[in-house]
Amino acid sequence: MASSSAVRDLQRELENKANDLSKLQKEIAKNHQVRKKYTIQLGENELVLKELDLLKEDANVYKLIGPVLVKQDMAEANANVRKRIDYITAELKRLDGTLQDLDEKQNSKKDAVLKLQQRLQSLQAGKAKA
């Protein structure tokens, strides 16, 4: 019976580890999504910057804030767009870092789970023999 309790313990541990692993995987997926969004926004902002550069200095630029279309300065708009671009690139970098950490954690968790599984199998095999 000691062996069976050991088996049960092992199984519980295995479950926990498996849960952690799945959580990690979800986080990684989220990370991927956010990264995608940011990448798209970055592309868009760069496009806006290009068009703004093509505009004449006295052209009217408006910004849509909610349901309101607010007139903006060319300079102000340019500055805003540039800032947004920088912000987005920084975010992306941060996300990359977290993604790497998550990846490492996931790998280690996978190894642990494998080891647990092996132990469980050996125990069960031993039990079967006996």
List contacts with other proteins (CB under 8 A). 41, 44-45, 47-48, 51-52, 54-55, 59-65, 69, 72, 77, 81, 84
The residue (of 29 and 47) whose beta carbon lies closer to other proteins is 47
Tokens 């052209």 map to which residue? Answer: 59
69: left (phi over 0), alpha (psi -120 to 50) or beta: beta
Write down the least CB distance from residue 62 to other proteins, Å: 4
Choose between 29 and 125: whose C-beta lies nearer to other proteins: 29
Residues 52 and 80: beta-carbon distance below 8 Å: no
What is the chain's length?
130
**Least distance CB 65 / other proteins (angstroms):** 7
Whole-number minimum distance, CB 54 to other proteins, in Å? 8
* Unique residue bearing structure tokens 């993604």: 99
90/125 with CB nearer other proteins: 90
Question: What's the min distance (Å) between Cβ of 126 and other proteins?
Answer: 33
SS3 92: helix
Q: Which is nearer to other proteins, 2 or 58 (CB)?
A: 58
Which residues make Cβ contacts (< 8 Å) with residue 52, sequence separation at least 6? 61, 74, 77, 78, 81
